[in-house]
Structure 1
Amino acid sequence: MFGFSIYLSAPITSKIKKKINRLAKAGFSGVFTSLNLPEDDPAVLLDRLSELGAECRRLRIELTVDISTAALERLSISLDKVHELTDLGVTQLRIDDGIPMPSVAELSQKMGIVLNASTISEEDISLLQENHANFENLEAWHNYYPRKNTGLEETWFDQRNAWLKENGFTVTAFAPGDSDLRGPVYATLPTLESGRYQHPLSAALNLLQNNVDNVYIGDEGLQVETAAQFDSYFRFNTLLLHANAEVNIPEYLSDGEFIFHQRPDVARDSVRLREGRSLKEGTIEPANVKERSRGAITLDNKLAQRYEGELQLIKCDLPADPTVNVLGYISPSDFGLLENCEAGQAIQLVF
């Protein structure tokens, strides 16, 4: 499952509601928000949560709320009255480490509960079992890390997730957004430090390769083009790559409708599109032969002989080759997605 974040520090305006609708249509099925905002009026926070909850209910998407014992006290909500939050549309509570495991076990009988994936211990799991927790309602979510150089290290993260899954937890982590970054640091909100400035879809796919089940976008915004890329991947398992032409390109590229596929034998330096040679029309003369920098879209010319017509997306800087024409370039913001092209991956180039 993929989700996104909406924070309650600002009103739930019609613009916000349109964004929620757009992302829900793009395939996102969960919203994350927080009530840990001590500077805001509790009544205002609950009003905004009610509006957000109503929108999530209407769209039938989950609403997970980050809550602490201090926030519950400030909102005058006790643990035995969490129905006051579920009545507002909340489906899951992400709780801090201050709530004892017996209380967590009791809460899990009533609704979905999210625990801190980084701090759950074997002792915690034993206490949950002893107190008859409903493990079907328990999940493990990692934090996001606003400050640069504080995000998690990948090897530890992967090992931690493997242990959590062995103990029956569904694991969720955060990928960065690329619009409306959250202050005061504005350095995106990822779980992994390596994902901090990655393309959001690339960061999300990398998380899924590290024993993660669900990915939420930590920041509030995704650019319209990025949301469309998520939509293309959700619905058609197709990576949509934006591109710019440098010379005249074949018609099968310019219409932007053709779906290419990476060959089953994945190359180290390039994404080889298996349909390239079969689409060749006439003789391809050498043209715009130059250094092939990362992101270059190349077409093998007649000097390549039986490879004439081969299309490649270049993953690393390569020298010029007299047998290879450079047609244009993938947009720099999409470079990271080249690394997510697996064997047989469907790819759509939009110039």
Structure 2
Amino acid sequence: MTDSVSSLLQEVFSNAETRLKQLEYHPNRTAWLRILQSLQRMGSLELSRLDAKILAATLEDLEQGFAAFQNYAHQRKITVFGSARLGPESPEYRQAQLFAYCISQRGFMVMTGGGGGIMEAGNRGAGLENSFGLNIQLPFEQMANPVIAASDRVINFKYFFSRKLFFVKETDALVLFPGGFGTQDEAFECLTLMQTGKTKLMPLVLVDRTGGCYWKEWDEYVREHLLGRGLISPEDLFLYTLTDDVGDACQQIVDFYRVFHSNRYVRELLVLRLNTRLSLEALDILNEEFADILDSGRIEQTGALPEEAEEDIAHLPRLVMHFNQRNFGRLWQMVRRINKLHPEQPDPLQMRPEQK
């Protein structure tokens, strides 16, 4: 039986591979060939029933995630993390709801875990039209909140890892309110991805209740036990910011995209796309202050490179550099410096920081 299934899969994949190779100019041809070849190899592994079910569920998670966000690729989105156990009576819930309302009024969409507590507050503040809920199938505690429950804005994931993939892939800022093990897991995993260059450049803001000490004491722990023992570098502290003010949290996110637009690697080059061109004086300041994060050469201002000249952003100026791919905390620091170097605030109606 196993042999017949394996033979059938090999035949299907072989035919599909032949057809794909004929699509010489399809932009994703190489990627689809890799997908088919990987599935073909797994088809010959005689996977156990459990392994086959894991593969199937993972692909289904990816399929529904890609489908849900396909029409929102150019809309900036914010991920809100926090406890499912903090109800409407808590200051944290009210802060999260107010933050989500504030940031949605600036044109950003809000993504939450789709459950109750802080997640519900985020969806409620943003409103259904500006919300997504990335729910997780659990035997307890995690039902979709009433704001999004009966809508197509709920995505039900089987696995935490595929859910986290879309939280990070689709977002342009990470905002964390107080929470338990899940929130701490999300905080440290996001910081790890940022510290190791496995995510795009974006702000991570830790938001507390007014006058609260949850994140302040967390920050003290990080500084004393992680930084103090040499387990992280001083520059890693630039990866996140703390606030207990909703307006400040919103402004930090908007300001992050004031001049900076997005980043991309082209071969060994880091490309920073900008909303507006920097002066020669500003460029000299960057080269003086951030020479330590370059493997060689200088930070140069250019136009779009052929490999990353997507039509809708080809007109944007670029900063191009041989970044050493180690000092990511300093790189986050440089983005914030770039945003302060432009002498005039760009017109927000022209800049539209929420539009990718």
Same fold per superposition (TM over 0.5)? no
TM-score by length of 2: 0.32
- Structure with bigger strand share is 1
> Which TM-score applies when normalising by structure 1?
0.32
